[in-house]
Amino acid sequence: MKTFRKILFWSHLVAGLISGLSIGIMCFTGTILAFEHELADWSERDARKVAVPADTTRLSIADLQRKLRETQPDFRATGLTLLNDPAAVVTFTAGRDGAVFANPYTGEFKQPASTKVHDFMHLMIDWHRFLGREGEQRPMGKLINGICNIAFFALAVTGLYLWMPRNWSWRGIKAVTFLNFKASGLARDFNWHNAIGFWSAPILIVLTLTAVPISFRWGGDLIYKIAGEEPPLRSAAGQAGPGGPANATPAFEIVRPSPDARPLPQDTLIASVQKDFPRWEQITVRTGGAQRGQRAGAPNTTATSPAQSAPAASAPTENPPAAPARPAPQPVTIIVRESDSLPRTATTTLTLNPFTGEVLKREGYADLSTARQIRSWTRYLHTGQALGWPGQLIAGLACLGGCFLVYTGFALSYRRFFKRRTAAK
């Protein structure tokens, strides 16, 4: 038994020394990122919140879109988001980071006075996921952090065994499970390493396990195989998404009721969804935007020469060019998150006929396969968001505990290897 404990101890120590720096970075950034969105939203409250007037009549989405085109013609919105809060703005988005905030009562568009918190959070994400690497070095940074994350899992598991009190008396249990703020030096480092590890290790095991599918493709595929399902096909970028496969959603053929039929106003579609989801918290409408491969706001330059883009002035046109083909109508995608959803990040995606409002497809958490449900949990258990703010708080505290574990672990190792040599001399 003593030999096994000794082997486990030295394995724990060596793994911690090798991976400690990366683990420390992930724990530090994880502590900050626990409330990433809440902090970013709070810092941008000057643009995200409005004063609710006495006349609470809201402008239509069409009016807001028209004002957006007039005031910011280069902005090509790909979606819009509504919150169930009278003081919340309507957010028009373009891609992952582009956003414009619209006052739903006046049509005024605002940008936050400062984006420093938002930019800082992006920096923390880069260090948390990619070890601060950029460009072609990002995959290497992700691999290093992924391997060190697995080492952190092993450290948490072995630590639980090593931190168990050898003497199961109240005095022995108290010595390794409660912080001793009066101790100093070696006694303090030993006590803090054991006590913080004892309480944070179970949470850290969950955080490190749920990070494996994020870091490694085989981690996500393993969930599907355990559930008896085929792993999803990856896109060219190699991503399958947090909740399921990257396979393209089957296209719906929308029949135009008449040649001059126009789609229903988005407000009508949204009002219908709000009626069907009385506990809605957030509604996102995907509106399309710039063509794939085209930068939002960039002109569509498909002609290769002036001669191709316009007919020569001297050349008569016996057969005038046909009018451009009318684009085929596309379904409207609306994503709803409810206030009582579990996991808290679960959403319901509705695919609607733009002319009739008929629901062509409805996919919520209950409609997902077992593997996709598990992936929905694992992705957001890692951040704590799956359980709402209590889960985020617990995850943040566990990451903070991980920072102390790295510090005390290095301190104990230093005292073991260097203090003894100094004393021997």
* Confidence class for position 206, pLDDT limits 50, 70, 90: very high
Domain membership flag for residue 402: yes
* Confidence class for position 301, pLDDT limits 50, 70, 90: very low
Q: What is the mean pLDDT of residues 403-419?
A: 92
Starting at the edge strand found earlier in the chain, the sheet holding 79-83 runs 109-110, 98-102, 90-94, 79-83, 280-286, 332-338, 348-352, 359-363
Higher pLDDT, 297 or 224: 224
* Confidence class for position 294, pLDDT limits 50, 70, 90: very low
Residue 383's closest CA among 117, 31, 126?
31
Domain membership flag for residue 155: yes
Domain membership flag for residue 368: no
Return the structure tokens found at 67: 């004002």
Domain membership flag for residue 265: no
Asked if the model's pLDDT at residue 165 lies above 70, the reply is yes
Report the domain count for the chain: 1
Which residues lie below 8 Å from residue 98, measured CB to CB, with a gap of 6+? Answer: 75, 296
Domain carrying residue 19: 2-44+114-244+385-424
Q: What is the mean pLDDT of residues 274-293?
A: 79
pLDDT digits (tens, 9 = 90+) for 225-249: 999 999 988 754 455 544 444 444 4
| Residue 297 CA neighbour count, 13 Å, CB half | 11
Which residues lie below 8 Å from residue 80, measured CB to CB, with a gap of 6+? Answer: 61, 90, 91, 92, 93, 284, 285, 287
* Confidence class for position 177, pLDDT limits 50, 70, 90: confident
Range scoring the smallest mean pLDDT among 253-262, 302-311, 366-375: 302-311
Domain membership flag for residue 186: yes
Domain membership flag for residue 101: no
Residue 9's closest CA among 164, 217, 127, 117?
164
| Residue 172 CA neighbour count, 13 Å, CB half | 7
From start to end of 261-321, where are the E strands? 280-286
Q: What is the mean pLDDT of residues 211-229?
A: 95
- Rounded Cα distance, 371 and 349, in Å: 18
Q: Are 178 and 195 in contact (CB under 8 A)?
A: yes
259 cis-preceded (ω within 30 degrees of 0):
no
Range scoring the smallest mean pLDDT among 146-150, 284-288, 388-392: 284-288
Q: Are 102 and 90 in contact (CB under 8 A)?
A: yes
Which residues lie below 8 Å from residue 285, measured CB to CB, with a gap of 6+? Answer: 61, 79, 80, 81, 82, 266, 269, 270, 332, 333, 334, 335
Domain membership flag for residue 220: yes
Domain membership flag for residue 16: yes
Asked if the model's pLDDT at residue 9 lies above 90, the reply is yes
Which residues lie below 8 Å from residue 219, measured CB to CB, with a gap of 6+? Answer: 212, 213
pLDDT digits (tens, 9 = 90+) for 46-86: 999 999 998 878 999 999 999 999 999 989 899 999 999 99
